[in-house]
Copies of this chain bind each other. A is one copy, B any other.
Amino acid sequence: MTLAILGGTGPQGQGLALRFARAGVPVAIGSRDAARAAEIAAELTAKLPEGSAAISGHDTDGAVAAAEDMVILSVPWAGHNATLEALKDKLAGKILIDIVVPLAADDPKKVDMPPEGSATEAAQAILGPEIPVIGALHNVSAVTLRTLEWDINCDVLVCGNSLEARKKVMALVSKLGVTAYNAGGAEAARCIEALTSILIRINISKAVPFTHAGIRIWAPDH
């Protein structure tokens, strides 16, 4: 049941690797630089409590090959499409979990969406209809993920055109102790990805008392 995390040497990828490994899910982190991936895997392993699953380091193709059925894409937006073009043939039979947010290059408080509408929709267009793309985990702060003693203060909105794949990803995400919600088809990623830029604005703003903001779905207090 190994999970691949591409871009697993970045802050978000490292945080997810730690959280999933601690939750018992073996993680194969992938990077263009396999030596760097192995180094980061060793560093992360040293931070894990006993009883955690293993974190291993690979080049990108190796991480994809190691994945049982799910691959998280956690690269910077600038490398999103090129990474997927290169991997297209190797992802057959797997679910791609896209956590990438198309932040504007000059202002992370804004998004600069691709013509497809969102990163998730762009990924689906590149991979074609046979490989389900699921958008998830966009709104969780990397700092929060990497600080294992904090609870994750964020619900996870999960979207994508395959309901079956959405359900599998919701079950995976739930292992992190967070609540995952079915947010509908891939178009919902236009909202979910953009929410990250709003959270970044709130974090940067001097008007609010906290950083690493997340979102929660909340019921009336009654």
Chain A residues engaging chain B, CB cutoff 8 angstroms: 109-110, 141, 144, 147, 149-151, 153-154, 157, 181-185, 187-188, 190-192, 194-195, 197-199, 201-202, 205, 207-222
Contact between chains at B188 and A194 (CB < 8 Å): yes
Residues of B within 8 A of A147 (CB): 220, 222
Contact between chains at A109 and B184 (CB < 8 Å): yes
Contact between chains at B153 and A182 (CB < 8 Å): no
Given contacts A184-B201, A198-B184, contact A215 B216 (CB under 8 A): yes
Q: Can you show 12 pairs from A to B with CB atoms below 8 A apart?
A: A141-B220, A150-B221, A153-B220, A181-B202, A182-B201, A183-B201, A191-B194, A208-B217, A212-B220, A213-B217, A214-B219, A215-B215
Residues of B within 8 A of A215 (CB): 215-218
Excluding A147-B220, A183-B202, A184-B201, 7 further A-B contacts by CB distance (< 8 Å) are: A110-B185, A141-B220, A151-B221, A153-B221, A181-B198, A184-B198, A213-B217
Q: Which 3 A-B pairs have the closest CB atoms?
A: A191-B194, A210-B219, A216-B216
Selected contact of A153 from candidates B198, B205, B218, CB within 8 Å: B218
Residues of B within 8 A of A209 (CB): 219
Contact between chains at B205 and A182 (CB < 8 Å): yes
